[in-house]
Amino acid sequence: MSSILLQVIISGLLIGAVYALFSSGLTLIWGMMNVINFAHGDFVMLAMYTAFLVWTVFGGGPAASVPIAAVVLATIGVLSYFLLVRHIMRGPMLAQILGTFGLALLLRYSAFWYFGANFRTLPDTLLGSPFVLGSIRVDAPRLLAGAVGLLVTLLLHLILTRTALGSRMLAVSEDATAAQLMGIRPEHMQAVAWALAAGATGIAGALIATFFYTSPTVGETLAIVAFVTVAFGGFGSVPGALLAGLVIGVIEAVSAFLIGPVYKDVIVYTLFVLVLWMRPQGLMGKA
């Protein structure tokens, strides 16, 4: 294998881990409550602006912006749940879809109003120089984002499957009434799910901001990838999102490199449709 092709695959894995990172929040909300959060991309956007503000106001790098963005977004997640989602859940399916979609537009145009349409970036020297192994280069911000992506996804998975909190959350997602009879308050658990999902999204956004541009519409660009990743991996499956993110990242990179960048979406979406055709529940979703 030529070293440049190896570089393509590594680049694909790194961007794929980032796809997984910002998709895990979306899949978590779905798994918990059967609600698609259409504002997900705009949560990422808010986290990116948080990182940008942490840098411009305090001069802080990812060490400061990641925890701050996690807390800020977890708060926004809980607020969204209590002020909006809790109410629209009682309405018809369409109200749920349009409700979070409305939230997306509210957040996006608030960002337009407050930050303006200008593109922003964090200084590219924030995390030092790339790692070089022979002819292979690994950019530090992407490596950090990729590594944290794996870590956060693993952590979310462990919380859901190995802790009492996770069991209570799963109980609510499977049968809220039965869970209530067992003394679990569904609303509390759902609020925790929104906090966890939005917090993970906050971490994702703060890390993506270190190597991507930030603008009020960046969420739109990223959200499409997140939806595909979640559907591909299986709605509600955190490990599925991880696997799907990596697969999509590598396929995109390799097909763009070998065939051409304009064809990469055709190839990724063909594969996507094929997988859903054979496995409608996604790679790791439950049937």
Give the binding site for another protein (CB under 8 A).
4, 7-8, 11-12, 15, 109, 112, 116-121, 124, 130, 137, 139, 142, 211-213, 215-218, 221-222, 225, 252-254, 256-257, 260-262, 264-265
Q: How far is the CB of 11 from another protein (least distance, A)?
A: 4
Give the phi and the psi of residue 85 in degrees, each rounded to 5: -60, -45
Nearer of residues 130 and 280 to another protein, judged by Cβ = 130
Q: Looking at beta carbons only, is 53 or 176 nearer to another protein?
A: 53
The answer to whether residues 20 and 242 touch, using CB atoms and an 8 Å cutoff, is yes
Q: Compute the least distance from the CB of residue 205 to another protein, in Å.
A: 14
Nearer to another protein, 96 or 229 (CB): 229
Q: What's the closest the beta carbon of residue 157 comes to another protein, in angstroms?
A: 24
Q: How far is the CB of 124 from another protein (least distance, A)?
A: 6
Q: Which is nearer to another protein, 12 or 239 (CB)?
A: 12
- Least distance to another protein from the beta carbon of 285, Å? 24
CB of 277 to another protein, least distance (A): 25
Q: Do 127 and 140 contact (CB within 8 A), yes or no?
A: yes
State in angstroms the smallest separation of the CB of 119 from another protein: 4
For residues 22 and 194, which CB has a smaller minimum distance to another protein in the complex? 22
